Amino acid sequence: MREINASIPFDKALWRQDIAGSRAHVAMLAAQGIVSPEDARAIDEGLQSIAAEYERDGVPEDWDLEDIHMTVESRLAELVGPVAGRLHTARSRNDQVATDFKLWMREAMLRAEAGIESLQRALVMRAEEHADTIMPGFTHLQTAQPVTLGHHLLAYYEMTRRDRSRFADARARMDECPLGSAALAGTGFPIDREATAKALGFARPTRNSLDAVSDRDFAMDYLAAASQCAIHLSRLAEELIIWASQPFGFVRMPDTLSTGSSIMPQKKNPDAAELVRGHAGRIIGCATALMVTMKGLPLAYSKDMQDDKPPVFEAAGLLDLCLAAAAGMIADSRFEVTRMRQAAELGYATATDLADWLVREADIPFREAHHITGAAVRLAESRGVALDALSLDELTAIDARIEQRVFAALSVDASVAARASYGGTAPDQVRQRVAEARSELGIDE
């Protein structure tokens, strides 16, 4: 029972939040006349001494004390004597842990938002640098149409904008303080819940004591947002892994975020990217673990809820690492612009431009234009050249309606420049989106 019941090995991470909550609580008890000013002062000074000890030496693990709450209270009694027992007036470990956990989660959400912003800044700066850099765009991992590298990187900026908003939304939803809900029904003492909520930086107290102590949707909100963010990071990491492989050769990963082989001296492995990709599975697993834990619990508190913290702590640590690694990879990687352009040219990425030209200039139905373009691609492929390297005679042999003007549409430069619709890959559009992103991030302020 001692081993299965103790949570101090992991919930000691909440010591700062636990002491902050206790200090706010005892200050309110004194203001309401529930404890004397002298007792409140002694308790507060004792809590500050404990905080200094833990900051210096770490939190001791006495499994007989079960958790961080009893660990702090026991040490407080050693320091200030029986008066320490007054601290727990008008509260329970149930509202105490819910408050501590929310305070910790708020910091984790702010860290995630800051980590996302660092990645966004790297994405935007590299997108601006490569607004004109041409690369193949893919569907089904097959060359589709030419795009700019800047446009490609800004796609991840848009994904991370939504990721950041999910954490901000979750933070706004959890901005209610459980302290004062006591075990499940509230308390008969004349407490001031508005005061403790304000002291701890919450917008307001929770409105229902049963809900306040028995739900962990704020933690699941975090894990859901973390899972979605991790999925986006994993997709970015996968692309970098593919691009760094020799058949692609689109990017050289920074040495600081790569490793060598134990046996093959020529290897440069994108291990940081692979770990970002792998950690996504663990973060998603953490979200699943807490959801399954919570799914069948009746009101109010059950001891199952002690298992709420390990998956959140694990996911938060992994997400912080992944965001830092992703930002570093984007900021410090070297993109091989010549190789990217060659791949776009030899992948017949402008085939759609030829078909569009036939429809627009020769008034040919698209299905017929599609067939003519396919024949041109087969010819270029047989000769090992780009579409715009075919001669006019070769193209007119396929269809006599093709004219010299077609070559203006067949280069990869012309193709990306033509995609000037809002949100398109044209360099001018990329620069406009970069300017908007810089403004959103406050880069130019």
Which residues are designated catalytic?
140, 261
d(C-alpha 108, C-alpha 115), whole Å: 10
Encoded tokens for 384: 């090992």
406 exposed, middle or buried (CB, 10 Å; 0-12, 13-18, 19+)? buried
Side chain identity, residue 285? G
Rounded (10°) CA dihedral 355, 356, 357, 361 = 120
Structure tokens at 244: 């760094």
Cβ-contact 226, 279 below 8 angstroms: no
Cα–Cα distance measured from residue 131 to residue 291, given in angstroms and rounded to the nearest whole number: 43
CA distance 309 to 305: 8
Are 431 and 438 spatial neighbours (Cβ–Cβ below 8 Å)?
Answer: no
The count of other CB atoms within 10 Å of the CB of residue 303 is 10
Q: Give the end-to-end CA distance of the chain in Å, rounded to a whole number.
A: 58
> φ, ψ for residue 349 (rounded to 5)?
-70, -15
Give me the DSSP letters along 224-263: HHHHHHHHHHHHHHHHHHHHHSTTT--EE--GGG-B--SS
Buried b / exposed e over 415-441, threshold 16 CB at 10 Å, is: bbbbbeeeebbbbebbeebbeebbeeb
107-111 CB contacts, 8 Å cutoff, 24+ apart: 108/222, 108/312, 108/316, 109/167, 109/168, 109/170, 109/171, 109/222, 109/225, 110/171, 111/316, 111/320
Other CB atoms within a 10 A radius of the CB of residue 348 amount to 21
